[in-house]
C-alpha cells in the first residue's frame, strides 16, 4: 500500500522518478545532513562494479564471453571468499549501515528514515551513503539536496535530489541502476 504523501512530496516523487528508470529496494543506506560526498570515488566504484558484473553475469539468456577454464573458476570462487572475509573485517571496524527501503534513479533517491529521526530541512544539503551491492563492503557517498520530507504514524521519508553530477558519474549510475532493474525483473520472473 502506497502512503498518501503531501503535495510537496508528491511533486518530489514525480520529479525524481517520473519518466526515468527507478529501482525500489532495501539497501544499506543513510542520509548525512551537511555531509560531504566523494563523487570521484563513487564514479570509480560504479565503473569497477560494472566491469566485475559484466564478467560475472549470471543471466541465463546472456551470451557469455566463453566459458572460463576450471582454474579461473576456482580463482573466482576464492576471490569471492576473500571478499566475504574482507567484508566481515571491515564491518567489524565500522558501524554497519542500516538496511533502508529506498527508491533510486539518476535524479535522486527516496529514503525511508529510521523511526524517531528528525526530518531534515527542505533545501538543505547533505550526502547519502549507501552500499550498492551486498558482496562489496564499501559505500558510495553522493551529494544530495532535500526536496521534500513526509511522515505518518508508521514511517518518515526524505526525497533527496542529486545536484549537477559529473557526466561520468551520472552515466555509471545509470548503468548500475539498469543492472539492478534487470536483476529485479529476472527475480520477479523466477517467482
- pLDDT tens, position by position, 87-104: 667 666 667 789 999 999
pLDDT over threshold 60, residue 62: no
Is the pLDDT assigned to residue 118 strictly greater than 80? Answer: yes
DSSP string for 20-39: S--EEEEEEEEEEETPPP-H
Provide the 8-state DSSP code for 109: E
Residue 64 has pLDDT above 60, yes or no: no
Mean pLDDT in residue range 126-152: 90
User: Which is more confident, 87 or 185?
Assistant: 185
Residue 48's pLDDT band (cuts 50, 70, 90)? confident
Higher local confidence (pLDDT), 156 or 114 = 156
Q: Phi and psi dihedrals of 140, rounded to 5?
A: -90, 145
Contact yes or no for 14/103 (Cβ under 8 A): no
Residue 161 lies in a domain: yes
In a domain? residue 149: yes
Residue 141 belongs to some domain of the structure:
yes
61: DSSP letter: T
User: Would you state the pLDDT for residue 60?
Assistant: 47
Cα 156 from Cα 111, distance rounded (Å): 8
pTM for this prediction: 0.81
CATH number of 145's domain: 2.40.10.220
| Mean confidence (pLDDT) of the chain | 85
Q: Is residue 80 part of a domain?
A: no
128 assigned to some structural domain: yes
Identify which has the larger pLDDT, 53 or 3.
53
| Lookup: cell for 71 | 582454474
The CB density around residue 77, as the number of other CB atoms within 10 Å, is 10
In a domain, 45, yes or no: yes
* pLDDT value of position 36: 80
Q: Is 67 a member of any domain?
A: no
User: What's the number of domains the chain is made of?
Assistant: 1
> Which tops the pLDDT comparison, 22 or 152?
22
Say if residue 59's pLDDT is above 60: no
Is residue 63 predicted with pLDDT exceeding 50? no
User: For 94, which DSSP code?
Assistant: S
Look at 39-43, 84-88, 126-130, 161-165 and tell me which has the smallest mean pLDDT.
84-88
Residue 83, domain member (yes or no): no
Q: Which domain holds residue 137?
A: 7-57+99-190
Amino acid at each position: 500500500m502506497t502512503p498518501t504523501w503531501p503535495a510537496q512530496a508528491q511533486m518530489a516523487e514525480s520529479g525524481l522518478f517520473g519518466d526515468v528508470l527507478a529501482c525500489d529496494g532495501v539497501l544499506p543506506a543513510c542520509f548525512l545532513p551537511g555531509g560531504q560526498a566523494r563523487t570521484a570515488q563513487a564514479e570509480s566504484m560504479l565503473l569497477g562494479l560494472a566491469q566485475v558484473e559484466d564478467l560475472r553475469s549470471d543471466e541465463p539468456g546472456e551470451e557469455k564471453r566463453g566459458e572460463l577454464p576450471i582454474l579461473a573458476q576456482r580463482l573466482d570462487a576464492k576471490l569471492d571468499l576473500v571478499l566475504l572475509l574482507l567484508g566481515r573485517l571491515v564491518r567489524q571496524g565500522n558501524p554497519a549501515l542500516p538496511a533502508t527501503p529506498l527508491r533510486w534513479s539518476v535524479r535522486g533517491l527516496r529514503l525511508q528514515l529510521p523511526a524517531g529521526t528528525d526530518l531534515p530541512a527542505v533545501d538543505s544539503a547533505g550526502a547519502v551513503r549507501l552500499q550498492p551491492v551486498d558482496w562489496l563492503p564499501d559505500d558510495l557517498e553522493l551529494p544530495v539536496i532535500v526536496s521534500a520530507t513526509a511522515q505518518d504514524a508508521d514511517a518518515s521519508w526524505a526525497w533527496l535530489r542529486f545536484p549537477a553530477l559529473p557526466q561520468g558519474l551520472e552515466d555509471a549510475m545509470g548503468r548500475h541502476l539498469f543492472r539492478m532493474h534487470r536483476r529485479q525483473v529476472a527475480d520477479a520472473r523466477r517467482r
